[in-house]
Chains A and B, each alone.
Chain A
Amino acid sequence: MRFICLGYADETIFKEIPEEKMKGFMEECFVYDDVLRRGGHFVGGEALQPASTAVTLRFREGKVDVTDGPYIETKEYLGGILFLEARDLNHAIALMSKHPGVRFGPFEIRPADVEINALVRERDERIRAERAGGKAKG
């Protein structure tokens, strides 16, 4: 099963941690990511820049309104996303419980929506085929 793990963290904490310690922490995260990779669990992931870099779009009174800053003001912000392949929810929990990142903020684990993803993939393949066909003709 595919799971999406959302890693949250209090960004202000990071500013207080000495650079050396921070490097060690990052290294620990990377080493554990490798453990996940070796087990075939690490499907992909993205680290996010601080929430202060965010812009938020909202549909208001018939048009799109843009504000700077994150969607919700909280203490802990989404800092990274990890795509995880695991046998079931308990396996995913066991794998992510050992991730060093969990010590800095909560992980939210959500199963991927298989049905919607299948629809998305179908459209993806259709467009790819269209483009391949177009190229062949051109």
Chain B
Amino acid sequence: MAEAMRHNRELVNDSREQAVRETVERIYREESRRIFATLIRLVGDFDLAEEAMHEAFAAAVERWPVDGIPEKPFAWLVSTGRFKAIDTIRRMARFESDPERVALATVPAKADETIDEEQFRDDQLRLIFTCCHPSLPATTRVAMTLREMCGLTTEEVARAFLTSPATIAQRIVRGKAKLRDERIAYQVPSRDELPTRLDSVLSVIYLVFNEGYSARSGDSVVRHDLSSEAIRLGRVLMDLLPDGEVAGLLALMLLHDSRRRARIDAAGDLVLLEDQERTLWDRPTIDEGLRLVERAFASGEVGAYTLQAAISGAHATARDVRDTDWGRIVALYDLLLRAEPSPVAELNRAVAIAMRDTPEAGLRLIDGILERGELASYHLAHAARADLLRRLGRSAAAKVAYEQALAMSTLEPERRYLEKRLRELG
């Protein structure tokens, strides 16, 4: 009997331990980046904060089954992490020559961090603005954002960008060293700095999104996840800093992502917008995107992301190509070219003109852009030109243009699309 009772108690303990372990794992998944962001501020160093957070979670796995889950797990993990970091510094202090480090060791660790929700939210902004700091090279910003802010491992980042972990690791190590050496403060940019600093953050998020979106060739699930990661990051930023362009970027990503299932056919080939099966578009995602576009327009400051999202939204609300409001799309491109002139936007405007007016009108514009030499080696310019030539029945010229596009394209689904068109022309 006693034996059975003890056995029972062990089972209860086991299941209790299991439950606590699951709670810790959930908190790790949901909160670890916030805890990390706060610890960087408290201990003043990325690496020290990472290790401190790691030890705090390890301590939770050990202590919580015995002591029970604390009332405020987040605060418990933050103060435990801080205590662990100070403990490590103290142990090494007698060998330490850096006076700043030694000074840090004398800062008393409070038993419980006072909860200041505002401060914790700012910490996340501090982290993302620091990872996307303009003094870091663009590739480093992307790697640091994905690892420090999103919690991907070095190896996952490397797989997503088809490079080696050693390369990514080096970028991150050098990035952190630069932040240290240049004494770049861990802070939210001031009001006058904010627009340019936010631009840098948004471009990193959009780059991550596109890396996943354009590579959706079915060969790499990890790359696909990059799009979801970018959207998640967009949501976090939207929650922390509901700026017009943040809403615009999130809307743009959602509207693109809503077409995920229609973009690639069963054979893994790329399907152009005009040929997509629109019932496959994800309505709830479209609705969310459209609401965000409205919100961005309502904010009064309409930027390039919002305008691109509005263009994407105009497609999303049309039943088919004929039903599309091409007049509105051209008008939005006109605004976009004023907000952020770029030959690629000009190319897209030319395609919209071809739809609103005639293929000839679009073709004239594309030829004009190509003559300036700006998009001469951009495969999509040649592909767009080829499509218009095909519609005009100028098969020979269309064939040459498709071949030019093919020679410049590196993505497999795009290549297959161009090859198919070439075959159709005979």
On A, residues with C-beta under 8 Å from B are: 1, 28, 31-32, 34-35, 38-40, 87-91, 93-95, 97-98, 100, 111
Contacts and interface: CB of A to CB of B under 8 A. Distances in A.
B165 interface: yes
7 contacts: A31-B91, A87-B153, A88-B155, A89-B169, A90-B168, A93-B169, A111-B165
B147 A40 contact: no
Given A1-B155, A90-B173, A38 B92 contact: no
A89 B95 contact: no
B154 interface: yes
Contacts of B51: 39, 91, 94-95
A35 B169 contact: no
A32 B55 contact: no
Nearest to A86: B54
Contacts of A98: 47, 92
A97 B169 CA distance: 13
B166 A89 contact: yes
Contacts of A90: 147, 154, 168-169, 172-173
A40 B47 contact: no
Contacts of A1: 153, 155
A20 B93 CA distance: 19
Contact of A38 (B55, B95, B173): B55
Contacts of B236: none
Contacts of B153: 1, 87-89
B123 to A, nearest CB: 20
A39 B155 CA distance: 21
B165 A87 contact: no
Given A39-B55, A88-B154, A90-B147, A31 B47 contact: no
Nearest to B52: A39
Contact of A94 (B50, B58, B88, B91): B50
B251 to A, nearest CB: 33
Interface residues of B, number: 22
Residue from B46, B88, B156 having most chain A Cβ neighbours under 10 A: B88
B40 to A, nearest CB: 13
If over half of A's interface residues share one DSSP class (helix, strand or loop), that class is named, otherwise mixed; here it is: helix
A104 B249 CA distance: 50
Nearest to A27: B95
The 8 tightest CB contacts between A and B, nearest first, are A88-B153, A94-B47, A88-B154, A89-B154, A89-B169, A90-B154, A28-B95, A89-B165
Interface in B132-181: 147, 153-156, 165-166, 168-169, 172-173
A83 B16 CA distance: 32
A15 B156 CA distance: 44
B154 A40 contact: no
Contact of B54 (A31, A35, A87): A87
Nearest to B51: A39
Contacts of A93: 169, 173
A111 B166 CA distance: 10
Contact of B92 (A32, A88, A94): A32
Given A90-B172, A93-B173, A35 B166 contact: no
Interface string B170-194: 0011000000000000000000000
A131 to B, nearest CB: 30
Nearest to B46: A94
B155 A31 contact: no
A46 to B, nearest CB: 23
